[in-house]
Structures are given as C-alpha cells and as structure tokens.
C-alpha cells in the first residue's frame, strides 16, 4: 500500500500541470478566436494561417478577431471583415466561385485525364507486344536425367 501510494504521488507530480491549466483556461472566446484564425492566411508568411504564424501582423489580426468577438460580431461577420480588407487571398481555403472552381476541380480533372492516357497507353502496349511462339520443351539428355535421379535418391 505505501509503495502504491508513493507511485501515485510520483505520477501526479510528474504530470505537466501547466498543460492542464492551459486547457482549462481556454475560454469560449479563445476557441472562437482559434477557429477563425485558422481559416485566415497570414499575409506576411503566406503559407501559414494567422493562428500558427508568429508574425506581428498575425498577432495583431488575432487581437482584432478577439476585439470583434467581444463586440458581439459573429464568425461570418469577422471573416467578411478580413475579406473586405484583403480579398479572397486572406482565406486559407479558396472560396468556391468563379475561376476558383478550377483550383478545386483541376486535381481531379488531371487525375482523370492522366488515368485515361495511362489506360490508353497500357492497352496499346499490351496489344502491340508480340507474344513469343510456344515451343516444345527440349528433351532431357542422359546426363541430366542421371543427375536428377542421383539427387532424388540422396
């Protein structure tokens, strides 16, 4: 019993308590900020969203999101605000309208076209490859026959 108790205490002490605190301290506003920030592109880093980016502009944008949530703006209103300032470019996911559809459809289209050409090419190879004429097996000579018999006996 005392050993078990000691192990329990050791386990409790080794658990990273700040991690627990961080999870517990995350408010609904924090969650909403994170969810919105993840959908917006950092215009400085360009490949990161403003939640993950460490750029000062991304940090300020997160501040703006927080301020607007505090003012009672909805997620869509906040996204629309950033869209009105920076255009479609600010969105991590291109909106599905106009020429943007090409971005969504092109990979599948390429796959389809590529698959079609591959199919055509493979069938072409199969059709044009000459099959070797079937030949009778060569007769077994005496030396080979004796070697096989010897190996079977041993």
Contact residues toward other proteins (CB under 8 A) are: 43-44, 46, 56-57, 60-61, 63-64, 67, 82, 84-87, 89, 102, 106, 110, 113, 117, 120-121, 124
User: In this structure, how many other beta carbons lie within 10 angstroms of the beta carbon of residue 78?
Assistant: 23
Q: Environment class of residue 54 by beta-carbon count within 10 Å: exposed (0-12), middle (13-18) or buried (19+)?
A: exposed
CA distance 151 to 149: 5
Using the minimum distance from each CB to other proteins, give the nearer residue, 126 or 152: 126
Between 6 and 60, name the residue whose CB sits nearer to other proteins. Answer: 60
Decide whether 35 or 121 has the Cβ nearer to other proteins.
121
Q: Are 91 and 83 in contact (CB under 8 A)?
A: yes
Displacement of CA 119 from its chain's centroid (Å): 28
């Amino acid at each position: 019993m005392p050993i078990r108790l000691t192990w329990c205490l050791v386990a409790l002490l080794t658990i990273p308590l700040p991690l627990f605190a961080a999870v517990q301290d995350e408010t609904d506003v924090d969650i909403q900020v994170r969810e919105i920030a993840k959908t917006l592109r950092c215009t400085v880093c360009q490949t990161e969203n403003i939640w993950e980016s460490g750029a000062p502009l991304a940090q300020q944008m997160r501040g703006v999101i927080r301020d607007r949530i505090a003012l009672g703006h909805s997620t869509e209103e906040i996204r629309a605000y950033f869209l009105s300032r920076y255009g479609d470019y600010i969105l991590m996911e291109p909106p599905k309208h106009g020429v943007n559809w090409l971005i969504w459809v092109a990979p599948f289209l390429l796959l389809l076209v590529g698959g079609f050409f591959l199919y055509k090419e493979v069938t072409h190879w199969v059709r044009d490859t000459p099959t070797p004429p079937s030949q009778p097996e060569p007769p077994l000579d005496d030396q080979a026959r004796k070697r096989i018999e010897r190996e079977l006996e041993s």
